[in-house]
Amino acid sequence: MSRIEAPRDEDDAAHVAGTAHAAGAATAVPGTLVERLRAALPDGAVLTDPDVTASYAHDMASFCPAGAPAVVVLPRTVEDVQHVMRTATELRVPVVPQGARTGLSGGANATDGCIVLSLTKMDRILEIDPVDRVAVVEPGVVNAALSRAVNEHGLSYPPDPSSWETCTIGGNIGTASGGLCCVKYGVTAEYVLGLDVVLADGRLMSTGRRTAKGVAGYDLTRLFVGSEGSLGIVVRAVLALRPEPPEQLVLAAEFPSAAAACDAVCRIMRTEGREALPRKGGGGRREGGHVPSLLELMDRTTVKAVNDLARMGLPETTEALLLAAFDTADPATDLAAVGALCEAAGATRVVPADDAAESELLLQARRLSLTALEAVKGTTMIDDVCVPRSRLGDMLEGVERIAAKYGLTIGVCAHAGDGNTHPTVCFDATDPDESRRARESFDEIMALGLELGGTITGEHGVGVLKKEWLARELGPVGLEMQRAVKQAFDPLGILNPGKLF
């Protein structure tokens, strides 16, 4: 079966979303709901002002419908969350969990008549253990706040999405987010050891462990990572930490084409990319590839957008800018070796940063990419297609063709080291024709990613935006099994209905 085969029929693809909506749509009188919620929640935890609740209706995604919530609840304790879920189950009211709403797929969008459960007030770091190298946190902890707190203990929490100054750990877990450093350190799923989860009926379940190893039973922890709040409400997380690495140095390489930059990525990552290393146990030598702490790409459109927004002085004559970083004991030597590989791939200029401050400036330019592209036309649709590294060049060339076909500005920034691209369609949302072309170009980019052996999302999640494409990627059998898991955890279909499938 082809990976891009369509679902069996339209009704089948919408089955779970329809069931969930039906379960939640026939709710009790709103006043009754509010009274039941307020009976066991502290003052100020239940918001009903329509202007206020409307501000919680959606995340940052375009083209994603959002309903009008009946009420917004701001819990502060696990018991608060349990009360909300017991009430929702009794009254058959849908619940939409939210973090900071920095998501890009509509996964936190409200449905009509729902309870929006905003977890931002549950923001305590409960424990940092330098011996076991774990942190125990509530879901509303901001990613950057956790990073800074563990840094004080000589430790690091590596996952660092571009929105790390505002996004929450609960949201990161819900979408299985990544970040700039994932080429070396991996993504959120690799750092979540255990969870406390409030289920749809209000029961509290613990999964996983806080030990370095553990394989007892099914890995329910991984099941919840990336589930977008559709299986339960994460109220506590045990996260693995690493020793804080040395300061990294960054190299910037300019290329005459995106294809040349992608060739450089392949040269850097392939095994013969560096000097031979001694074999474990002796007996000759083995080849070993470079392991940069960061390998990021910005195309010409993105570079210009960042300059227009922040006046950063990036080179606009380049067709692609590749950023490589190392946090090794001798980063300058590693950068020199990678610089030589970039030149062999056709780089027109290679500039290593002199110090950590200059390195941080380059990284700030990369972090501004999506914000800068949004400023081009006022609205963006951000793809999140991950392809094998070896097909990265094909992906970027295909996006360029699609942009020309539809007469649109489409900038690409990418976590090049793991093939995760973010083609970003810039358009004027007030122009119906341009909006139509934007949506069609987005779909063509998604199809291209699947054709190249990739996946529709590397870190942003499915939400509302990519429901149709998830069905195509999974196929009928895979979709049926996913629905069965949803049914087991949420038989009434009240948890984040209408998302994923």
Q: Are both 296 and 152 inside the same structural domain?
A: no
Residue after which a domain boundary falls, among 451, 467, 495: 451
Largest CA distance in the chain: 76
Using 50, 70 and 90 to split pLDDT, how confident is the model at 18? very low
**pLDDT at 280 exceeding the cut of 60:** no
**pLDDT at 24 exceeding the cut of 80:** no
| Cβ-proximal residues to 166 (8 Å cutoff; 6+ apart), any chain | 100, 102, 142, 144
- Among 10-14, 128-132, 189-193, 381-385, the minimum mean pLDDT is found in 10-14
pLDDT tens-digit map of 153-184: 999 999 988 888 999 999 999 999 998 889 99
Quote the CA–CA distance of 392 and 418 in Å, as a whole number.
9
Quote the CA–CA distance of 237 and 171 in Å, as a whole number.
12
State the pLDDT at residue 231: 98
**pLDDT at 14 exceeding the cut of 50:** no
Using 50, 70 and 90 to split pLDDT, how confident is the model at 493? very high
Q: Are both 322 and 353 inside the same structural domain?
A: yes
Q: Are both 220 and 317 inside the same structural domain?
A: no
The b-or-e profile of 365-385 (16+ CB within 10 A means b, else e) is bbbbbbebbbebbebbbbbbb
**Mean pLDDT score, 286-290:** 58
**Cα-to-chain-centroid distance, residue 225:** 11
**pLDDT at 86 exceeding the cut of 70:** yes
Q: Are both 185 and 216 inside the same structural domain?
A: yes
* The two structure tokens encoding residue 484: 């069965």
Q: Are both 260 and 390 inside the same structural domain?
A: yes
**pLDDT at 68 exceeding the cut of 70:** yes
* The two structure tokens encoding residue 457: 């999302």
Domains contained in the chain, number: 3
pLDDT tens-digit map of 464-482: 999 999 999 999 999 999 9
CATH code of the domain covering residue 442: 3.40.462.10
CATH code of the domain covering residue 22: 3.30.43.10
Structural domain harbouring 41: 10-119+480-487
Q: Are both 131 and 95 inside the same structural domain?
A: no
State the pLDDT at residue 17: 38
**Cα-to-chain-centroid distance, residue 321:** 23
Using 50, 70 and 90 to split pLDDT, how confident is the model at 497? very high
Q: Are both 422 and 332 inside the same structural domain?
A: yes
Q: What is the mean pLDDT of the chain?
A: 90
**pLDDT at 425 exceeding the cut of 80:** yes
Q: Which of 244, 246, 239, 245 is nearest to 132 (CA)?
A: 239
State the pLDDT at residue 285: 38
Determine the 3-state secondary structure of 21 from DSSP. Answer: helix
Q: Are both 196 and 261 inside the same structural domain?
A: no
State the pLDDT at residue 271: 61
State the pLDDT at residue 288: 52
Q: Are both 151 and 39 inside the same structural domain?
A: no
- Among 221-230, 236-245, 371-380, the minimum mean pLDDT is found in 371-380
**Mean pLDDT score, 117-122:** 98
**Mean pLDDT score, 114-124:** 98
State the pLDDT at residue 63: 79
Strands 95-98 and 115-118: parallel
**pLDDT at 206 exceeding the cut of 70:** yes
* The two structure tokens encoding residue 140: 């509303």
Q: Are both 34 and 147 inside the same structural domain?
A: no
For residue 68, what are the CA distances in angstroms to 31, 37, 83, 91, 391?
16, 18, 22, 18, 42
CA atoms within 13 A on the CB side of 86: 14
Quote the CA–CA distance of 205 and 223 in Å, as a whole number.
13
Quote the CA–CA distance of 501 and 483 in Å, as a whole number.
8
Asked if residue 69 is part of any domain, the answer here is yes
Quote the CA–CA distance of 207 and 196 in Å, as a whole number.
6
**pLDDT at 31 exceeding the cut of 80:** no
Q: Are both 253 and 399 inside the same structural domain?
A: yes
pLDDT tens-digit map of 370-421: 999 999 999 999 989 999 999 999 999 999 999 999 999 999 999 999 999 9
pLDDT tens-digit map of 304-362: 999 999 998 899 899 999 999 999 999 999 999 999 999 999 999 999 998 889 999 99
**Mean pLDDT score, 193-218:** 96
